Chain A
């Protein structure tokens, strides 16, 4: 069995799936916190803008669909099949950095202060997974 496969009791999860799960859950958390502060319509615009900014570099992010109804990760797993966990991690990290930058343009530290406690532990967790050889 290759070393980058992590055994979780009876279920085996690939690192890329794990990284995807971490970031999907983090983005959902961000959506929940920030939509309560600025509303879904504004937040959807910010998410789409952040994705658009880095789409050339991380094309798999086009599988994330954002609207006022929320974020959908329906096809991202399929879209990331041939992408390394490290690349997925970098793509999502870049997306989150862009979001943080947009939040700070709008409200300086007000939004970021609310989301940072969620962001850092999850990014660390993703880092840990991708660094495992």
Chain B
């Protein structure tokens, strides 16, 4: 009886830890820390179909052949239940070795998978993955182990659902629904962080404003639906033209803004020019016609320009964009401070 109470307490704290997790890896880690107190096993696996990812928490003594057996078994169970073949080679296996059983660590190349419990993870009737306990001992698990593992699996599913919901709320809050670029609110937050970082560490930061030339004409002649298509396509071009660390946001209407951390004037000019050329050379299929478009871009940079606040940087980029428009459009202008 005492053992059951002890196990229930461990189960309770395991569920609690999983419930407090906000990321996939955190869920697996929370389980991984507590499972050795509940089960006698040498490998725990978590398969996440969406990312074709298997996290394994294994005893130090497990040889690669055992890992392979475990992975194949998890995939086999998933394939049988979900009626979907998953290729072993396509799965990303992330394995973490721990001491799960007492005694000296000896890697035994001959150990084989002798028993397992593998349960599907289900969200709204759909199998989204599996969890699996594995042992090199025959008949290592009993009905209580299965009950406990299923309760853990259901808690994982509840946490995963919670994470998915949070992430969709977060997406609504930070993305522009039409273009899938970051929205202006997210830009403001990110810009605050990036300017503070740049001002304190004295590292370069560039801001690029982009505006589609004669966009009003497209909306007026071809209609707003076609105008929206243009916005989407240009947004994709922008996303594909910047570096990983850059932020591209829709600033409003047909105006976009790019935050380029650690980019001096030269580098930001290169990026802006690349965007201008890409748009110029792209044929847009709008309203069953092929059209060509151009963009104007304005650049401001810290520390090249006398920037005292983040607002200054925005004003300067806006001024440079205005110069690009005034200069005939389809060009990149760097902020030019007024001569005193």
Q: Which residues of A are in contact with B by a Cβ distance under 8 Å?
A: 36-39, 41-42, 44-46, 49, 102, 105-111, 113-114
Q: How far is the CA of A35 from the CA of B80 in the complex (A)?
A: 20
**Contact (Cβ within 8 A) B146 A111:** yes
**Contact (Cβ within 8 A) A109 B146:** no
**Contact (Cβ within 8 A) A106 B143:** no
**Contact (Cβ within 8 A) A37 B146:** yes
Residues in B whose Cβ lies below 8 Å from that of A102:
80-81
Residues in A whose Cβ lies below 8 Å from that of B77:
105-106
- 11 sampled A-B residue pairs with Cβ under 8 A: A37-B146, A37-B150, A38-B147, A39-B153, A41-B125, A42-B120, A42-B153, A45-B127, A105-B77, A107-B117, A111-B146
**Contact (Cβ within 8 A) A114 B143:** yes
Q: How far is the CA of A32 from the CA of B76 in the complex (A)?
A: 27
By beta carbon, the residue of chain B nearest A38 is: B150
Q: Which residues of B are in contact with A by a Cβ distance under 8 Å?
A: 76-77, 80-81, 83, 115-120, 122, 125, 127, 139, 141-143, 145-147, 150-151, 153-154
**Contact (Cβ within 8 A) A107 B141:** yes
Interface-centre pick from A36, A102, A110 (highest chain B CB count, 10 A): A110
Q: Given A111-B143, A114-B143, 20 more contacts at CB 8 Å?
A: A37-B143, A37-B147, A37-B150, A39-B151, A41-B125, A41-B154, A42-B119, A42-B122, A42-B150, A45-B120, A45-B127, A46-B81, A102-B80, A105-B80, A107-B116, A108-B139, A108-B141, A109-B139, A110-B141, A113-B143
Q: How far is the CA of A106 from the CA of B134 in the complex (A)?
A: 12
Residues in B whose Cβ lies below 8 Å from that of A38:
119, 146-147, 150
By beta carbon, the residue of chain A nearest B132 is: A106
Q: A39, A46, A106, A110: which contacts B142 (Cβ < 8 A)? A: A110
**Contact (Cβ within 8 A) A107 B120:** no
**Contact (Cβ within 8 A) A110 B117:** yes
By beta carbon, the residue of chain B nearest A111 is: B146
**Contact (Cβ within 8 A) B143 A41:** no
**Contact (Cβ within 8 A) B118 A106:** yes
A110 and B116 contact, Cβ closer than 8 Å, known pairs A38-B150, A39-B150, A102-B80: no
By beta carbon, the residue of chain A nearest B123 is: A41
B318 to chain A, nearest CB (A): 55
Q: How far is the CA of A45 from the CA of B124 in the complex (A)?
A: 11
By beta carbon, the residue of chain B nearest A34 is: B146
**Contact (Cβ within 8 A) B154 A106:** no
A115 to chain B, nearest CB (A): 11
Q: A44, A49, A108, A111: which contacts B115 (Cβ < 8 A)? A: A108
